[in-house]
Structure 1
């Protein structure tokens, strides 16, 4: 059998792309009512499903929670065995189903309606039991599955995922969910670190190499070597920043000078080093390091030396 794998792969993508494009037609007044209902509820959005739709429901819940809309996942099969207890009077419930006719969904619908909660159906069959009994409906009908037998949930689950993302993004806009909010909910991830981690959070863990302008060459070398940051600041008696000396400065000096006996820090320092405020975001430090093509920045405030932040610090924290 001579199967063209690449052709099959492209066809699958084309079919799913067409399914997603078709969803635009289902963004209507009812969809807007759904967004407003979820936005204004005093409770949470309870999302439920069975089979592959349950997996999609879990993803939608995770996305909503991380973007400022409180949500809970309730498996449709477990709901009738006790999990209905998670639904409070203020909650909105959304059931996800391609057919809208799954036995577990059909059992669940009248129970939720008896509770009096607003019921949203995300369904791919507008003639189904779910579509008829839900208060509001998100249409996720697809022309066909990408599966060659038109059976395995492929295009239909993609449509559900996309509509879930659409819900989340619309609610983010209504909630005015911004970068700071995102950082509060993602403090442990790399994305969150880019939004909340500050220069001082990293530099305060480093040594603070520093020498006076009168320091001998040996003292400069020892200070750089012991602190392992490839640099030392040159400061006055009041800790005011005068300049820096890097490994590169030492090498260039040795290339040009044969008599090093009288050399001191003031002879080899680089004045006006690139500095950054301790309150600046760590990602700003990364941008500055890249722009200047250097390995470290001097942390300073009001002319006072505060420490060093190194490229390695940013790499270690996943900022890069």
Structure 2
């Protein structure tokens, strides 16, 4: 096995190894303030938006700033007013490389991961960048 290919081989593993075990979400009728509080409580940068136990959207830190505060919205307004509808998803068996390509193509940093059509977790560009850096650091250390 060629040592030079090791970091890129890590990108071919299924995304299932790098997905949060549970999705943190709020109801679409929750307030923007409730969504922000939940994100702070769990120290996360994105939040699922649900209706009838189905994920219908996503809100990120950037959404809170650009679509919320910067546009003068009240923290009491519904989070559904600033969410991204129909978020981009990837199947849990997708490779890390495919997920990175999907995120790059759609210019997103947060991606829901699905299994059998249901959202089972989320992954972020930061987590995946850290994965590749870890692989490179291990390679360099050898």
Q: Which residue of the partner structure matches residue 229 of structure 1?
A: 44
Count of residue pairs the alignment pairs up: 131
Please state how far the C-alpha of 1:311 moved relative to its aligned partner: 1.1
Higher RCO, Cα 8 Å, sep 6+: 2
Q: Which residue of the partner structure matches residue 317 of structure 1?
A: 131
Please state how far the C-alpha of 1:232 moved relative to its aligned partner: 0.5
Q: Which residue of the partner structure matches residue 19 of structure 2?
A: 203
TM alignment of 1:155-170, pairs within 5 A: none
How many Å separate the matches in 2 of 1:303 and 1:216?
27
Counterpart pick for 1:276 among 90, 101, 105 = 90
Find out whether 1:191 has 2:5 as its counterpart. Answer: no
Contact 1:212 1:235 in 2 (8 A): yes
Inter-CA distance 251–261: structure 2 relative to 1 (3 Å threshold): closer
Please state how far the C-alpha of 1:261 moved relative to its aligned partner: 5.1
Please state how far the C-alpha of 1:303 moved relative to its aligned partner: 4.3
Q: Which residue of the partner structure matches residue 140 of structure 2?
A: none
Inter-CA distance 262–229: structure 2 relative to 1 (3 Å threshold): closer
**Structure with the higher strand share, 1 or 2:** 2
Q: Which residue of the partner structure matches residue 113 of structure 1?
A: none
Inter-CA distance 261–311: structure 2 relative to 1 (3 Å threshold): closer
Q: Which runs of 5+ in 1 are unaligned?
A: 1-65, 68-185
Secondary structure at 1:256 match in 2? coil
TM alignment of 1:204-219, pairs within 5 A: 204=20, 208-219=23-34
**Structure with the higher helix share, 1 or 2:** 1
How many Å separate the matches in 1 of 2:48 and 2:59?
6
How big is each residue's C-alpha offset from its partner over 1:213-270, in whole Å with a ceiling of 9 and x where there is no partner? 12122220022223333110111232x1111111121112212225x15412222211
TM-score (norm 1): 0.37
TM-score (norm 2): 0.78
Secondary structure at 1:317 match in 2? helix
TM alignment of 1:130-149, pairs within 5 A: none
Q: CA RMSD in A?
A: 2.4
How many Å separate the matches in 1 of 2:124 and 2:42?
12
Inter-CA distance 269–302: structure 2 relative to 1 (3 Å threshold): farther
Q: Which residue of the partner structure matches residue 220 of structure 1?
A: 35
